[in-house]
Amino acid sequence: MMTHRTFIQLYQVHDLDLSKPYTYGFAETAYGKGLLISHSGYLLAFGFTTEINDLRRPSWPITSWQENHQQAEDLWKTIESKNSIKAILLGTDFQQKVWQALLDLPQNQLVTYQDLANNIGHPKAVRAVANAVGANPISIVIPCHLVVRTDGRLGGYRWGTEIKKSILKKGL
């Protein structure tokens, strides 16, 4: 499925070739070192961490792991340049709905948790929306950094508010 951010194409989990290993590596970004995890050419996770367990998901099918920093660097360059990227997002139906709503936001448009809850048709599920935003597996690509509190304050960000401020300033 194509998203509003036309460089992101989402695929179903059945597209994973379990005979191939998960690949992970680090890339230097303008915001700090990022860890990228991919599988069979699909981005599965991205975050500003040096610990693979910060991004590993228990729901991923069991397979082997392979370290490849060059592939991670290349994948980051693709994200940064907004060239076409394939991603598979493993999450509940509710999480998927929240992540899709984030992907559908116009570039650099800030949104509140309440706005997101309204946008997905669950106006009373603000806390659940916040949890889904926090569980976003591919930071920056799914723009969870665009979510702010109702009072306009930045609120939290899984990878720290300084990184969030930096991303918002650059407008990625």
Q: Are 22 and 7 within 8 A, CB to CB?
A: no
**For residues 117 and 126, is the Cβ–Cβ distance under 8 A?**
yes
| 3-state helix, strand and coil shares in percent for the chain, rounded to the nearest 5 | 35, 25, 40
Active site includes 157? no
**Residue of 36, 144, 163, 167 marked catalytic:** 144
- Which helix (H) or strand (E) segment is 49 a member of? none
The structure tokens 């082997």 sit at: 64
φ, ψ of residue 171 in degrees (nearest 5): 80, 35
Active centre residues (catalytic)? 144
